[in-house]
C-alpha cells in the first residue's frame, strides 16, 4: 500500500465489512495523507471496530484530520495506535478532540 497505491481496493473491502470487522491493522504501509483520506470514509462505516492500528504511515496533519473525521463513528473503539506518524501538534489535537466521545477507549 506504499504511498496510497492499492488503498482504494483496501478501502472498498473495509467498507464492505461494516458491522463485522472488529480489528484492523494497517501499520507500516506508508498510507500517507492521500491514502488516509481515501480510507477514512470506509473507516467510518466500521461500527464494530474495537482495534485500529495506523502506526508508521506518514499521516501528516491532513491524514490525521481525515482519521479524526472517521473516529466519531467508531463508538466501540477500545484501542487506537497512531505511533510514529508525523502529525504534529495540530494533528494530535484533531485526534484528541474526537477521543472524548469514546468511552471504551483504553489504549
> How far, rounded to the nearest angstrom, does the alpha carbon of residue 87 sit from its chain's CA centroid?
13
> How far, rounded to the nearest angstrom, does the alpha carbon of residue 51 sit from its chain's CA centroid?
10
- Residue 88 region by backbone torsions, left for phi larger than 0, else alpha for psi between -120 and 50, else beta: left
Asked if 75 contacts 102 with a C-beta cutoff of 8 angstroms, the reply is yes
User: What mean pLDDT, rounded, does the chain reach?
Assistant: 86
Distance CA 104, CA 36 (A): 23
pLDDT of 84 > 80? The answer is yes
Can you give the pLDDT at residue 3?
A: 47
**In degrees, to the nearest 5, what angle opens at C-alpha 102 toward C-alphas 100 and 104?**
130
Distance CA 29, CA 77 (A): 21
66 — pLDDT class (breaks 50, 70, 90): very high
Asked if 15 contacts 43 with a C-beta cutoff of 8 angstroms, the reply is no
Can you give the pLDDT at residue 61?
A: 94
Amino acid at each position: 500500500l506504499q504511498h496510497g497505491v492499492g488503498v482504494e481496493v483496501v478501502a472498498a473491502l473495509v467498507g464492505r465489512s461494516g458491522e463485522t470487522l472488529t480489528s484492523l491493522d494497517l501499520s507500516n504501509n506508508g498510507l500517507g495523507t492521500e491514502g488516509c483520506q481515501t480510507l477514512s470514509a470506509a473507516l467510518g462505516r466500521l461500527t464494530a471496530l474495537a482495534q485500529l492500528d495506523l502506526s508508521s504511515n506518514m499521516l501528516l496533519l491532513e491524514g490525521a484530520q481525515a482519521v479524526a473525521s472517521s473516529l466519531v463513528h467508531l463508538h466501540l473503539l477500545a484501542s487506537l495506535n497512531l505511533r510514529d506518524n508525523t502529525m504534529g501538534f495540530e494533528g494530535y489535537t484533531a485526534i484528541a478532540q474526537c477521543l472524548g466521545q469514546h468511552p471504551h477507549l483504553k489504549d
